[in-house]
């Protein structure tokens, strides 16, 4: 059993919660479909353009990265370059220390999750307050996000109510979402005003203009970047796009794909520091330049981090984000995990039915399922293949390449129907765990054909 | 700056020899609307925003007073807003904006396909746009465009230091996917078309 499958069993243990998760996530997928249909004449063209722009940018990333940084500097933005997670965390800490920052408000950033920044900053005496509601809930619970766009999708309102009673002093037994959101608003207001610095991620970095674009619904990135005088924006190299015209394509796709909205409420463009303020941009590599050289998997860099692939994935919906190892779950997470560390994350690659639904919803046309399939082919070479599956595969190979044996096996197969269950479904039949055998017909199709029946 | 050179040289070394061309985006047409004003209003309302059309002899202040009769603190740096009680540019600290009931600002571009209004910086304290309970955006009806492609084409000629597309009130669905208006930023948005 793969590491993912074991955790999925845990997740499924609470059947009601698991079903609720499946339904909530699929509802977002349905909203995405409606949003795409509303601009049906444009949709496929937009996806093709998005893929083409990303392919172009990635195959010229050296040029665009340099251009982006040069233009940002020209605008009076301080740019920093981080090779890896340790570099990145150290750079941010250094900026914070130089400004004597004690409290930092932060809007959602998967890049900082990837690099373990919150833990690092806390260890160094910085109080970090996540300001996206879902992210704050997760942070107060001491958990990691289970989805990249809806981090607390797996948490019931009652649990949030109890959490806020304990941490924010909200009313006992009140778990109305509107009430709880209001409590968080009041709590976070104080944080925005008390904080000495704000840190945001970035959805796009525009090379022509040397600035970043941040999309949110809550307005928390704008509060983080407008209340304290110091703003640090973190951007992974793959977020670079050439120009404003590219944003025309991506902003039309991002929210429609991710949450089924025609746009996020706020699409904020930070191209210069604000009056009396300071803007720092940290450009982070952390393995991205390696992916660039990967002949088979380089197109993973096209990902916009919209979350559409996880919303549509039948395995993600039924197993939850925590069943996956690595920072990001779902189809894109399986691929990114393998690129980062195949030995640590090989347990994810079986979490795919190869249904290819993710390929069809991806706004940048990343061929997610094909890439997962390729990773599976590499498991033996990487030395992380499941020995039981290898044994079964070589058994099947032997059977399928020996016709006489195959025909004999087929004739005998109806006998299996009559065998008592424990004889068929036992520890020796690893395949039978979670799978049901079909009923074998008395006569195979080949025999029916030979006898002139079909 | 050692790591800058290191990363750039790694990019140069690893970037693929197979190059892809940039697609031509100058002619992407996108969705169009026969009646832009009607489309913008419909989409704004779907996003939870309100839209009012300023009558020929009307005044913005009348609409603001009528819509927010209990507002004590009205913040604006626009000239001619007589209902304003405070100009955010006169303050150095965002603390003084904490209890803002209404902020009145100017948009320069409205997008019919998704209700986005481009709000440029034009202030020392852009926190005023987000920290308020209610946001009022004044927008010239002649500045409506059909879609985001057109919007960004218009922005090419603007000098952008900072700017934000705002499409309605701040919202969240982070607790069990239940939609709640008024998360961390303005709880209501009123666009007045002039």
Q: A238 and chain B: CB distance < 8 Å anywhere?
A: no
B155 and A244: CB-CB below 8 Å? yes
Q: What are the distances in angstroms from CA B150 to CA A245, A267, A420, B31, B116? A: 9, 16, 69, 10, 12
pLDDT class for A307, splitting at 50, 70, 90?
very high
Least Cα separation, residue B58 to chain A (angstroms): 29
pLDDT class for A420, splitting at 50, 70, 90?
confident
Which chain B residue's Cα is nearest to A78?
A: B1
Using a 10 angstrom Cβ sphere, with 0-12 exposed, 13-18 middle and 19 or more buried, the burial of residue A47 is buried
Quickly list DSSP for A279-339.
Answer: EEEEEE-TTHHHHHT-TTTGGGGG-----HHHHH-HHHHHH-GGGS-SSS-HHHHHHHHHH
The pLDDT value recorded for residue A173 is 95
How does the average pLDDT of chain A come out, rounded?
A: 95
- What's the average model confidence in pLDDT over A71-75? 98
Contact list, A235 vs chain B (CB under 8 Å): none
Please list, in sequence order, all residues whose beta carbon lies within 8 angstroms of the beta carbon of residue B194, skipping any fewer than 6 positions away. B54, B60, B138, B139, B140, B141
pLDDT tens by residue, A390-400: 888 888 899 99
Q: A212 and chain B: CB distance < 8 Å anywhere?
A: no
- Token pair in block for residue B121: 């910086």
Least Cα separation, residue B179 to chain A (angstroms): 8
Given A81, A131, A226, which is nearest B4 (Cβ)? A81
Q: Are A336 and A328 in contact (CB under 8 A)?
A: yes
Q: B191 and chain A: CB distance < 8 Å anywhere?
A: no
- What's the average model confidence in pLDDT over A360-377? 97
pLDDT tens by residue, A202-261: 999 999 999 999 999 999 999 999 999 999 999 999 999 999 999 999 999 999 999 999
Residue with tokens 């046309």: A365
pTM, to two decimals? 0.94
- DSSP summary character for residue B71: -
A289 and B114: CB-CB below 8 Å? no
> How many A/B residue pairs have CB atoms within 8 Å?
259
Q: B15 and chain A: CB distance < 8 Å anywhere?
A: yes
Given A27, A217, A249, which is nearest B25 (Cβ)? A249
pLDDT tens by residue, B16-27: 889 999 999 999
Which chain A residue's Cα is nearest to B26?
A: A245
Q: CA-to-CA distance for A199 and B54, rounded, in angstroms?
A: 39
pLDDT class for B155, splitting at 50, 70, 90?
very high
Contact list, A227 vs chain B (CB under 8 Å): 94, 127, 131
The pLDDT value recorded for residue B99 is 95
Contact list, B126 vs chain A (CB under 8 Å): 222, 226, 274
Helix (H) or strand (E) holding B85: none
Contact list, B130 vs chain A (CB under 8 Å): 219, 222-223, 226
Please list, in sequence order, all residues whose beta carbon lies within 8 angstroms of the beta carbon of residue A56, skipping any fewer than 6 positions away. A242, B19, B20, B21, B22, B23
Among A277, A254, A234, which residue's Cα sits nearest to residue A110? Answer: A234
Among A393, A360, A395, A396, which residue's Cα sits nearest to residue A376? Answer: A393
* Chain centroid to CA B89: 19
Q: A244 and chain B: CB distance < 8 Å anywhere?
A: yes
Contact list, A248 vs chain B (CB under 8 Å): 25, 28, 30, 147-149, 151-153
The pLDDT value recorded for residue A50 is 98
Chain B residues 81-140 within an 8 A CB cutoff of chain A:
92, 94-95, 98, 113-116, 121, 124-127, 129-131
Q: CA-to-CA distance for A121 and A126, rounded, in angstroms?
A: 5
The pLDDT value recorded for residue A439 is 87
Given A62, A218, A251, which is nearest B184 (Cβ)? A218
**How much of chain A is helix, strand and coil, in % rounded to 5?**
60, 10, 30
The answer on pLDDT for A427 being more than 80 is: no
pLDDT tens by residue, A4-31: 999 999 999 999 999 999 999 999 999 9
CA torsion angle A300 A304 A305 A311 (round to 10):
-90
Given B7, B14, B125, which is nearest A81 (Cβ)? B7
The answer on pLDDT for A382 being more than 90 is: no
pLDDT class for B1, splitting at 50, 70, 90?
low
- Token pair in block for residue B60: 């913005």
Among B75, B86, B103, which residue's Cα sits nearest to residue B170? Answer: B103
Given B11, B165, B168, which is nearest A62 (Cβ)? B11
């Amino acid at each position: 059993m793969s590491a993912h499958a074991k955790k999925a069993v845990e997740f499924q243990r609470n059947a009601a919660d698991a079903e609720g998760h499946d339904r909530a996530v699929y509802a977002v997928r349905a909203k995405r479909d409606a949003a795409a249909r509303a601009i049906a004449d444009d949709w496929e063209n937009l996806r093709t353009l998005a893929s083409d722009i990303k392919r172009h940018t990635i195959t010229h990333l050296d040029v665009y990265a340099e251009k982006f940084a040069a233009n940002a500097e020209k605008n009076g933005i301080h740019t920093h370059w981080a090779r890896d997670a340790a570099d990145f965390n150290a750079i941010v800490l250094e900026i914070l220390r130089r400004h004597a920052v004690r409290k930092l408000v932060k809007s959602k950033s998967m890049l900082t999750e990837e690099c373990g920044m919150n833990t690092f900053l806390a260890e160094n005496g910085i109080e970090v307050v996540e300001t996206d509601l879902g992210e704050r809930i997760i942070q107060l619970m001491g958990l990691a996000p289970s989805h990249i766009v809806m981090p607390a999708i797996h948490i019931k309102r009652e649990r949030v109510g109890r959490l806020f009673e304990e941490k924010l002093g909200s009313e006992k037994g009140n778990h109305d979402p509107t009430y709880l959101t209001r409590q968080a608003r009041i709590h976070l207001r104080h944080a925005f005003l008390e904080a000495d610095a704000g840190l945001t991620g970035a959805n796009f970095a525009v090379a022509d203009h040397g600035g970043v674009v941040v999309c949110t619904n809550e307005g928390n990135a704008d509060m983080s970047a407008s209340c304290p005088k110091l703003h640090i924006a973190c951007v992974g190299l793959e977020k670079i796009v050439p120009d404003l015209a590219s944003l025309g394509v991506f902003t039309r796709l991002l929210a429609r794909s991710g949450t089924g909205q025609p746009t996020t409420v706020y699409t904020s463009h930070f191209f210069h520091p604000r009056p009396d303020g300071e803007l720092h941009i940290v450009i982070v590599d952390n393995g991205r330049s390696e992916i660039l050289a990967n002949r088979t998997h380089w197109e993973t860099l096209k990902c916009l981090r919209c979350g559409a692939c996880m919303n549509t994935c039948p395995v993600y919906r039924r197993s939850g984000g925590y069943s996956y190892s690595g920072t990001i779950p779902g189809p894109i997470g399986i691929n990114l995990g393998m690129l980062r560390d195949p030995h640590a994350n090989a347990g994810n690659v079986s979490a795919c039915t190869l249904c290819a639904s993710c390929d069809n919803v991806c706004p940048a046309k990343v061929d997610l399922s094909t890439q997962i399939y390729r990773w599976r082919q590499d498991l033996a070479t990487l030395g992380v293949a499941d020995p039981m599956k290898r044994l079964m595969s070589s058994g099947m190979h032997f059977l399928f390449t020996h016709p006489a044996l195959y025909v004999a096996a087929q004739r005998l197969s109806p006998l299996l129907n009559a065998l008592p269950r424990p004889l068929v479904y036992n520890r020796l039949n690893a395949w039978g765990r979670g799978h049901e055998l079909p009923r074998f017909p008395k006569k195979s199709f080949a025999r029916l054909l030979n006898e002139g029946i079909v | 700056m050692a790591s800058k050179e290191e990363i750039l040289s790694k990019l140069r070394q690893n970037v693929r020899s197979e190059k892809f061309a940039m697609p031509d985006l100058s002619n992407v047409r996108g969705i169009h609307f026969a009646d832009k004003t009607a489309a913008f209003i419909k989409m704004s309302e779907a996003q939870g925003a309100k839209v009012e059309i300023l009558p020929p002899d009307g005044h913005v202040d009348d609409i603001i007073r009528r819509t927010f009769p209990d507002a004590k603190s009205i913040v604006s740096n626009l000239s001619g807003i007589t209902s304003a009680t405070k100009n955010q540019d006169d303050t150095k600290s965002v603390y003084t904006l904490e209890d803002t009931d209404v902020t009145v600002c100017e948009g320069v571009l409205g997008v019919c396909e998704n209700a986005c209004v481009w709000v440029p910086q034009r202030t020392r304290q852009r926190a005023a746009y987000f920290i308020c309970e209610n946001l009022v955006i004044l927008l010239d009806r002649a500045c409506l465009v059909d879609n985001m492609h057109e919007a960004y084409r218009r922005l090419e000629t603007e000098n952008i230091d900072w700017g934000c597309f705002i499409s309605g009130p701040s919202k969240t669905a982070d607790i069990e996917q239940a939609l709640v208006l008024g998360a961390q930023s303005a709880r209501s948005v009123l666009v007045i078309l002039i």
